[in-house]
Structure 1
Amino acid sequence: MAMSHVRSLKSQILCRDAVGLVLRRTFAAAGGKAKKGSKGAAGDGPKASSLSKEVKSTTVVGANILKDGADLKILADSEYPDWLFHLLDKRPALSELRRKNKETLFYQDLKRLVKLDTRARIKANNTERAKN
């Protein structure tokens, strides 16, 4: 009887220690003190790149996600599709879209007008309901 009680007590202690190890919070082993003569995190900044300027200007460094692949080469502008260069163009605001004739708008602009107009009406309804 005493032996089984010792075994169960031993297993409970081992389980508690295992849970303690799993749930224990750990910190860096830096010691908490800065080195003599150091000012803050001066050594934490980005390191100088070992790549040459020629490689930097002809390849997209870090774009490769495959183990066996290589970094992508930058191609001439004529090699890329036309729509790529218009991705960052400014799109018209709601007030400007409202001023234009809806029958002459492009599909993307008409879709944007409907989306922004719906969003504005929802905001107006919400502020009106919040007042009541």
Structure 2
Amino acid sequence: MALSYIRSLRSMNIPKELIQMGGCRTFAVGSKSKKGGKGGAAADASKASTISNEVKATAVVGANILKDGANPKILQDSEYSGWLWHLLDKRPALSELRRKDIESLPYEDLKRFVKLDNRDRIKENNSIRAKN
């Protein structure tokens, strides 16, 4: 039924201003002059070729979120903070931390243990309350 309604709307010439005022949603219709199907891969390829290799090597392309801003420059490794290089290090799971002696844990692991243990207790209490 909805499909026939949409088809009947397509055959009618309704101004866009009237549709926007009425609150009726419309669906995007792709241009028939495009070749290559959905996704616009051909358009993306032409954009990628316009970016020079020099820009790619000196700036983080696509990291700019401001209208008037520029892409941030790539710095030397020594110019970045030390904590940055440890972001992807594996940290112990809660089960592994529970097996260790709490008194001998380093401060960072102890802080992680408390956070994960609290989160686990909250989830357990929520599941018990949901069953009742």
TM range (shorter): 0.5 to 0.7
Describe the shift of the 1:21–1:95 C-alpha distance in structure 2 as closer, same or farther (beyond 3 A).
closer
Amino acid at match of 1:47: A
Tell me how far 1:47 sits from its aligned partner. 2.5
- State the distance in 1 between where 2:99 and 2:88 align: 23
Equivalences for residues 1-132 of structure 1 within 5 A: 21-22=20-21, 23-30=23-30, 34=32, 40-41=37-38, 44-45=40-41, 46-48=44-46, 49=48, 50-128=50-128
Q: CA deviation at 1:64?
A: 2.8
Counterpart for residue 5 of structure 1: none
Q: What TM-score, normalized by structure 2, do the two folds share?
A: 0.62
Deviation at 1:124, TM superposition (A): 3.6
CA distance in 1, matches of 2:126, 2:67: 51
TM-score for both structures, normalised by structure 1 = 0.62
Q: Report % sequence identity.
A: 60
Q: Find the aligned partners of 1:59 and 1:93 in 2 and give their Cα distance.
A: 36
- Whole-angstrom CA distance in 2 between matches of 1:125 and 1:30: 51
Structure 2 CA distance, aligned partners of 1:84 and 1:72? 16
Q: 1:131 to 1:64 in 2, by over 3 A?
A: closer
Q: Secondary structure at the match of 1:60?
A: coil
Tell me the amino acid that sits aligned with residue 115 of structure 2. Answer: K
Q: Whole-Å Cα distance in 1 between the matches of residues 95 and 102 of structure 2?
A: 13
Larger radius of gyration: 1
Pairwise CA distance, 1:29: 5.0
Bigger drift between 119-128 and 45-54 goes to 119-128
> Which amino acid in the other structure matches residue 58 of structure 2?
T
The superposition leaves residues 16-55 of structure 1 with CA deviations (integer Å, 9 ceiling, x where unpaired) of xx87641132333547xx569x56326x123241112232
